C-alpha cells in the first residue's frame, strides 16, 4: 500500500461490518492555535464531501478543533447529516503559540520516534492511537459507513497501533497525511491509507 493510494470505496450497508472513513481535515491556515481552512482546504473538503455522499454515508463525526469542524461542516452541507463533535478525535498535540514552534516540532518528532514518550500535550503516540481506536471500536455497524473528520497525527498513531511501521505507506511518518486524505477501516482493518484519488477525479 502506498501513500495516496486511490480509493475505490466499499459498498454501503455491509452487514455486520463497521466501515469508517477517517478524513484528514483540509488545508489550514499557517497560524498557531486553532486556524480554520484556507480556500484550498474548503475546495478539498467539498470534493471529499461529494465522494463520501456517493458512498451512502450514514453518520458524520468531527474533532472539535476548528480546521476539522469546518471540514465536517462542508461535508454536512452536501450529505445532509448532522455533525457530531467528539473530543476523542482531537489531535495528539496542537501548537498554540505559547512555546517556540521549533520546540513543538522537536517534541512531536521525539513522540514519533518513542511511542511511549509523553509530550507536552500530555499524551503519548500510543495513548493517542488507543484513544482513536476506542472511538472506532464503539461505533455500531448499523450506523456506518461513517465519516470521521480528524487529524493526521492521531490517524497515524492509530495505524501504528494496528500495523507494524514497515507496513505503513512510504513517507507517512515523515510527511504525514495530505489534506483531506481518507483512510478506510473495516472493523479496524486498514483497507486504504491516506488516499487522495477522490481529490483528482
Confirm whether 185 is domain-assigned.
Answer: yes
Average pLDDT, rounded, for the chain: 90
The set of residues, in sequence order, having a beta carbon less than 8 Å from that of 87 and lying 6+ positions away, is: 63, 64
Looking at residue 31, what is its pLDDT? 82
Residue 186: the pLDDT is: 95
Q: Which pLDDT score, from 0 to 100, does residue 62 have?
A: 98
pLDDT at 6 over 50: no
Residue 49 maps to a domain = yes
User: Mean pLDDT: which of 113-122, 152-161, 167-176 is highest?
Assistant: 152-161
**d(Cα 107, Cα 24) in Å, to the nearest integer?**
22
pTM of structure: 0.90
Report the pLDDT value the prediction gives residue 132, as an integer from 0 to 100: 97
Classify residue 111: in a domain, yes or no: no
143 part of a folded domain: yes
Is pLDDT at 118 greater than 90 in this prediction?
yes
Structural domain for 136, as ranges? 19-97+125-199
Average pLDDT over residues 10-25: 75
Q: Answer whether residue 14 is part of any domain.
A: no
Query: Is residue 36 one of the residues assigned to a domain?
Result: yes
| Number of independent structural domains in the chain | 1
Residue 68: inside a domain, yes or no?
A: yes
Which pLDDT score, from 0 to 100, does residue 80 have?
98
Q: What is the pLDDT of residues 74-101, one digit of tens each?
A: 999 999 999 999 999 999 988 888 888 8
Structure confidence by residue, pLDDT tens digits, 18-76: 999 999 999 998 888 888 999 999 999 999 999 999 999 999 999 999 999 999 999 99
pLDDT of residue 15: 54
In a domain, 45, yes or no: yes
CATH number at residue 32: 3.40.50.1240
Amino acid at each position: 500500500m502506498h501513500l495516496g493510494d486511490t480509493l475505490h470505496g466499499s459498498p454501503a450497508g455491509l452487514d455486520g461490518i463497521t466501515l469508517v472513513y477517517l478524513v484528514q481535515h483540509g488545508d489550514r491556515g499557517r497560524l498557531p492555535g486553532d486556524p480554520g481552512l484556507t480556500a484550498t482546504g474548503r475546495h478539498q473538503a467539498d470534493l471529499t464531501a461529494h465522494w463520501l455522499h456517493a458512498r451512502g454515508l450514514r453518520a458524520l463525526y468531527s474533532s472539535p478543533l476548528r480546521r476539522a469542524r469546518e471540514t465536517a461542516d462542508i461535508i454536512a452541507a452536501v450529505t445532509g447529516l448532522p455533525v457530531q463533535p467528539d473530543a476523542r478525535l482531537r489531535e495528539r498535540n496542537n501548537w498554540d503559540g505559547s512555546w517556540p514552534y521549533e520546540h513543538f516540532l522537536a517534541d512531536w518528532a521525539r513522540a514519533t520516534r518513542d511511542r511511549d514518550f509523553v509530550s507536552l500535550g500530555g499524551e503519548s503516540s500510543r495513548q493517542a492511537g488507543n484513544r482513536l481506536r476506542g472511538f472506532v471500536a464503539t461505533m455500531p455497524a448499523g450506523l456506518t459507513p461513517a465519516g470521521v473528520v480528524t487529524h493526521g497525527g492521531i490517524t497515524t498513531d492509530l495505524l501504528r497501533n494496528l500495523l507494524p511501521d514497515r507496513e505503513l505507506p512510504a513517507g507517512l511518518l515523515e510527511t504525514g497525511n495530505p489534506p483531506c486524505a481518507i483512510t478506510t477501516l473495516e472493523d479496524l482493518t486498514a483497507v486504504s491509507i491516506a488516499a487522495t484519488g477522490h481529490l483528482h477525479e
